[in-house]
Amino acid sequence: MSAVQTTSPTPDDTRKRGPLAEVLLSLLRSGTFLTGFAIVMFWVACALFGEHFAPYDPLADDIINALAPPSAEHWFGTDQIGRDVFSRVIVGSRDILTVAPLATLLATVAGTALGLLTGYFRGLVDDVVSRILEAFMAIPVVIVALLAIVALGTSKTTVIVVIGLSFAPIIARTVRSAVLAERELDYVAAAQLRHESAAHTMFVEILPNVIPPILVETTVRLGYAIFAVATLSFMGFGIQPPSPDWGLSISNNYGMIGGGFWWTVLFDALAIASLVIGVNLAADGVHGALND
């Protein structure tokens, strides 16, 4: 009698998998996510092990071979002091892939806390905090960075703090709107009817249910953070020489384009573009998987 088992309280066997397993499964089925993930993983591998398979030392100059065009020896050519561009592009992912994720993490933690606070308490707390966050969002990142450098000096930490704090209000806004919707659900009233503390209600009851939008926002912000790190480095406020960082390289070499030495800039620019596209594709995939 096969039908007896089917009359269990979980009649539909697709429901037996946990929500996490379902999300992972749908990520693995998403071409968008897999493409993006592959690109990002490529650069992560370069950051971790680049030194070992880069053909040259990215910092070693070779002034005789300066500004050599791409060739079998130097696939991407050499820069103005003869450093191998290919090796520099590969190892150049290291700093940006440390700074951007850490900045995003800081933004996510701070933004989630602020979003929970404003969305849960509403009223005066929300009004005051939200106005401050809005004012903060109105200041361009570059100006914040300038001020921070004056105050803190240039370092990776400064970049992380600047980008992290600039992105936190944006994440806070997303979390707040998700929390506002959750707060209307009866399980929050049920928690109040147990005299739960505000902290318990926020972090144990509500937070697990707003993880999906936070995850999506984080991956999207990571793309922007990479872009912002590259921009700050290009402007000289970010990662400092002698790092082979992409933004920094472009900044050092863009004057050469006029002389026809395009390879000193193009490959770094493509690297930045591919990483941002990779992160955005992965973010799209995550968004799709969580909103099915």
Partner 1 sequence: MTKSAKAENALELRDLSVAYRVAGRNRAVLRNLSLNIGQGEAYGLVGESGCGKSTVALTVVRYLPRNGSITGGAISLDGQDVMKLDAEALRRARAESVSMVYQDPGKALNPSIRVGRQLTEIFELGGITGKAVEDRAVAMLNRVRISDPTSVMQRYPHQLSGGMQQRVAIAMALANDPSMLILDEPTTGLDATVEAEVLDLIAQLRQELSASILFISHNLAVVSNMCDRVGVLYAGMLVEEGPTEVVFNDPRHPYTVALLRCLPRGGQRKDQGRLDTIPGFLPGIGVDIKGCAFADRCALADDRCRSELPPLYDLGGRLSRCFYHEKAQALPRATPSDVAPAPKAAAVPVLRVAGLNKTYSSHGHALRAVKDVSLDLRPGETLGLVGESGSGKTTFARLLLGLVPPDDGGTIVLEGKALAPRLENRSDDQIKAMQIVFQNPDSALNRSHSIRHLIGRALKRLAGLSGKALEARLNDLVRSVRLTDRHLAVKPRQLSGGLKQRVAIARAFAGDPRIVVCDEPTSALDVSVQAAILNLLADLQSKEDVSYIFISHDLAVVRYLSDKIAVLYLGRIMELGPSEDVFSGPHHPYTEALLSAVPKLDQTETARIRLDGEIPSATNPPSGCVFHTRCPRKIGAICEQQEPPLSEAQPGHSIRCHIPYEELARLQKEVVTEPA
Site string for partner 1, 15-34 (x = CB under 8 A): xx-xx---------------
The C-alpha atoms of residue 190 and residue 59 are separated, in whole angstroms, by: 62
291 lies in the binding site for partner 1 (CB under 8 A) = no
Residues between 217 and 256 with contacts to partner 1, criterion CB under 8 A: none
Cβ neighbours of residue 74 closer than 8 Å, sequence gap 6 or more? 56, 65, 68, 84, 85, 86
189 lies in the binding site for partner 1 (CB under 8 A) = yes
Pick the piece of the chain touching partner 1 (CB under 8 A) from 9-17, 38-46, 87-95, 219-227. Answer: 9-17
Query: With CB under 8 A, what is the number of residues at the site for partner 1?
Result: 30
Please identify which residue in 64, 143, 195, 258 interacts with partner 1, judged by CB under 8 A: 195
Cβ neighbours of residue 170 closer than 8 Å, sequence gap 6 or more? 107, 111, 137, 217, 221
* Listed residue (283, 289, 290) closest to 220, CA to CA: 283
62 lies in the binding site for partner 1 (CB under 8 A) = no
13 lies in the binding site for partner 1 (CB under 8 A) = yes
CB of 26 to partner 1, least distance (A): 11
* Listed residue (280, 275, 272, 274) closest to 246, CA to CA: 272
> What are the residues facing 78 on neighbouring strands?
84
Please identify which residue in 41, 45, 128, 185 interacts with partner 1, judged by CB under 8 A: 185
11 lies in the binding site for partner 1 (CB under 8 A) = yes
- Are 208 and 150 in contact by the 8 Å Cβ rule? The answer is no
Q: What does the binding site for partner 1 look like in residue numbers (CB under 8 A)?
A: 1-4, 6-16, 18-19, 185-187, 189-190, 192-196, 205, 208-209
